[in-house]
């Protein structure tokens, strides 16, 4: 039996409707209207886009990349960038598999892969000259003493390999015939090979060369002094990624351009970044590295142009017909750097 002390379900509903009607009539009489509920607050800032980027060697040519990360510049441009050290021989495969989206890598590696069919794009370049010196063992007094000796590089077909093949003929030496070129896998390995006596020469740059000089190793040639145009360090990505993520690509390039401006005007901060990544504490070595790269090597506007690939095409083209006939302009896109410069990103 129903409890008569409780109103029936229908009576409850009728009372509720009546109460609502009375409330509505009262609001109308008072000139008011029901206030709609406020919409949920929108998120002020979208979550940063996660992007992976690689660099091929722990050398100061990558300072713009490191500064963009450590100064929070990537974050200000809405990017959460994960940096990974990937040796040059594995940099292009990492791009093609999607393990990284941007690779800071030698132009020679990009051209070799593109000539072989990889659909890649270069959107910038942070080192447009050869920045190396030729450092040799204590008993090597002049270039001709290198005949019959070994020169260590990071990898065959990479920037160090091309630079060695550009320099040796200028010293009256034939690569491979007079001097054996030995691939070691990385710049660190090449330096270690020279220090251990496994080879008698390598290409180097500060601060690495400065650590070797007190032990009797010395420089007999400086490629940087020749100011030869080249695509030593480029910023590459797959064409599919760039075409599908032009906004992300633009923000990435903007961050690199802004980082270059920051390192040029904030020497103390740049030195701290170099100290962290190079794991060098010697103040004079850090300052020499900064002066070499920031002062003379890294440009304010990181454009990459077809004429920077002359040495690459000529050297690799001797043994690779596809490279010799490759139109490098097909893989260059200057629009991102141009947009950044036009909008004054480099003045921030």
Stretch 123-141: mean pLDDT: 95
Same fold, 49-129+229-347 and 133-222: yes
- 59's CB contacts (< 8 A; 6+ apart) are 187, 205, 208
Give me the pLDDT at residue 102, please.
98
C-beta neighbour count of 88 within 10 angstroms: 26
In sequence order, the β-bridge partners of residue 103 are 54, 236
Task: Report percent pLDDT > 70 for the chain.
Answer: 87
- For 288-308, the pLDDT digits (tens) are 999 999 998 999 999 999 999
Q: Higher confidence at residue 25 or residue 89?
A: 89
Give me the pLDDT at residue 26, please.
36
Q: What is the largest CA-CA distance in the chain?
A: 116
User: With contact defined as beta carbons under 8 Å apart, do 208 and 293 qualify?
Assistant: no
Give me the pLDDT at residue 232, please.
93
- For 18-68, the pLDDT digits (tens) are 444 334 433 344 444 444 444 444 445 578 999 999 999 899 999 999 999
Averaged confidence pLDDT in the chain: 88
Q: Higher confidence at residue 123 or residue 44?
A: 123
In sequence order, the β-bridge partners of residue 229 are 129
Which CATH architecture group holds 133-222? 3-Layer(aba) Sandwich (3.40)
Give me the pLDDT at residue 45, please.
59
Is the model's pLDDT at 284 over the cut of 90? Answer: yes
Place of tokens 């510049």: 73
User: With contact defined as beta carbons under 8 Å apart, do 108 and 161 qualify?
Assistant: yes
Q: Tell me the two tokens of residue 340.
A: 């950044």
Task: Report percent pLDDT > 90 for the chain.
Answer: 78
Place of tokens 């660099």: 55
For residues 190 and 231, give the distance between their C-alpha atoms in angstroms, rounded to a whole number.
21
Domain boundaries, the chain: 49-129+229-347, 133-222
Stretch 323-337: mean pLDDT: 97
User: With contact defined as beta carbons under 8 Å apart, do 326 and 115 qualify?
Assistant: yes
Is the model's pLDDT at 17 over the cut of 50? Answer: no
Residue ranges of E strands in the chain: 49-55, 79-85, 102-105, 120-129, 133-136, 149-153, 179-183, 201-204, 218-222, 229-238
Determine which of 32-36, 84-88, 128-132, 254-258 has the lowest per-residue pLDDT on average. Answer: 32-36
Stretch 189-196: mean pLDDT: 95
Stretch 211-235: mean pLDDT: 91
What is the fold of 49-129+229-347?
A: D-Maltodextrin-Binding Protein; domain 2 (3.40.190)
- For 154-184, the pLDDT digits (tens) are 988 889 999 999 999 999 999 999 999 999 9
Give me the pLDDT at residue 32, please.
46
- 192's CB contacts (< 8 A; 6+ apart) are 184
Stretch 147-151: mean pLDDT: 97
Q: Got the DSSP string for 251-300?
A: HHHHHHHHHHHHHHH-HHHHHHHHHHHHT---HHHHHHHHHHIIIIIS-S
Give me the pLDDT at residue 306, please.
96
Give me the pLDDT at residue 44, please.
54
Least Cα distance to 298 among 65, 110, 57 occurs for: 65
Is the model's pLDDT at 7 over the cut of 80? Answer: no
Q: What is the 8-class DSSP label of residue 347?
A: G
Least Cα distance to 210 among 284, 126, 281 occurs for: 284
Give me the pLDDT at residue 88, please.
83
């Amino acid at each position: 039996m129903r409890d008569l002390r409780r109103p029936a379900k229908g009576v409850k509903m009728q009372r509720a409707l009546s109460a609502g009607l009375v409330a509505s009539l009262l609001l109308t009489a008072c000139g008011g209207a029901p206030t709609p509920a406020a919409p949920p607050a929108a998120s002020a800032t979208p979550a940063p886009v996660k992007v992976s980027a690689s660099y091929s060697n722990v050398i100061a040519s990558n300072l713009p990349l490191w500064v963009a990360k450590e100064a929070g510049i990537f974050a200000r441009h809405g990017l959460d960038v994960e940096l990974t050290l990937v040796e040059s021989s594995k940099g292009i495969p990492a791009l093609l598999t999607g393990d990284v989206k941007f690779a800071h890598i030698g132009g020679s590696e990009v051209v070799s892969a593109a000539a072989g069919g990889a659909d890649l794009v270069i959107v910038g370049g942070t080192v447009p000259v050869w920045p190396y010196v030729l450092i040799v063992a204590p008993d090597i007094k002049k270039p001709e003493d290198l005949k019959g000796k070994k020169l260590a590089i990071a990898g065959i077909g990479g920037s160090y390999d091309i630079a060695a093949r550009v320099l040796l003929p200028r010293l009256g030496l034939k690569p491979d015939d007079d001097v054996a070129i030995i691939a070691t896998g990385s710049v660190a390995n090449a330096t270690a090979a020279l220090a251990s006596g496994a080879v008698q020469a390598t290409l180097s740059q500060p601060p690495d060369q400065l650590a070797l000089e007190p032990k009797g190793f010395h420089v007999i040639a400086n490629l940087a002094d020749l100011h030869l145009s080249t695509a030593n360090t480029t910023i590459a990505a797959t064409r599919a990624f760039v075409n599908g993520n032009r906004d992300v690509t633009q923000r990435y390039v903007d961050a690199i351009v802004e980082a270059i401006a920051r390192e040029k005007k904030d020497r103390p901060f740049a030195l701290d970044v170099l100290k962290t990544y190079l794991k060098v504490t010697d103040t004079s070595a850090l300052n020499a590295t900064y002066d070499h790269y920031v002062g003379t090597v890294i440009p304010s506007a990181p454009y990459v142009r077809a004429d920077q690939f002359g040495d690459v095409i000529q050297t690799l083209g001797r043994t690779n017909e596809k490279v010799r006939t490759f139109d490098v302009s097909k893989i260059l896109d200057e629009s991102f750097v141009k947009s950044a410069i036009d909008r004054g990103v480099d003045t921030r």
